[in-house]
Structure 1
Amino acid sequence: MSQSLAFANGWSLAKSLMVCVVIFTAETGGYGVMPASEFDGDPADVVHEFDPFE
């Protein structure tokens, strides 16, 4: 997933679910998007966090 696609998916997911989501670098070299409450990886891997309430 490209970084711009990850950002678009992250923003959309945050707005749809009304939860904070994080974009992180995956072990495979790509990007991942998931709810912030479920992310238990290395905080240094977080690229951006979307908060739908801001």
Structure 2
Amino acid sequence: MSHDLSLARSHALDLARTLMVPVVLFLSGAEYGVLPADEIDDEDDVEVIHEFDPWRAH
């Protein structure tokens, strides 16, 4: 978890490219986090900021 959006965004993009799976950058409380997209459920109490897909150009 991170309090810095630009740092979290950078790590999310790197993680997506390393794992070659879509990852989601989310806000939970006052912190940003990153998880593989398939691990985020609709019931989770998070606000999705962006999804990074390594197969699409950004």
The normalised TM-score by structure 1 is 0.88
Separation in 1 of the partners of 2:53 and 2:45? Answer: 19
Shift of 1:26: 1.1
Counterparts of 1:26 and 1:33, CA distance in 2: 10
**Aligned to 1:52, what secondary structure does the other structure show?**
coil
**Greater Rg, structure 1 or structure 2?**
2
CA distance in 1, matches of 2:55, 2:35: 17
Runs of 4+ aligned structure 1 residues displaced above 3 Å come to none
Match of 1:12 in 2: 14
Of all paired residues, the percent bearing the same amino acid is: 48
Between Structure 1 and Structure 2, how many residues are aligned?
Answer: 52
Higher helix content, 1 or 2: 1
Cα root mean square deviation, aligned: 1.3
TM-score normalised by length of structure 2: 0.82
| Structural mapping, 1:1-54, within 5 Å | 1=2, 2-27=4-29, 29-40=30-41, 41-42=44-45, 45-54=47-56
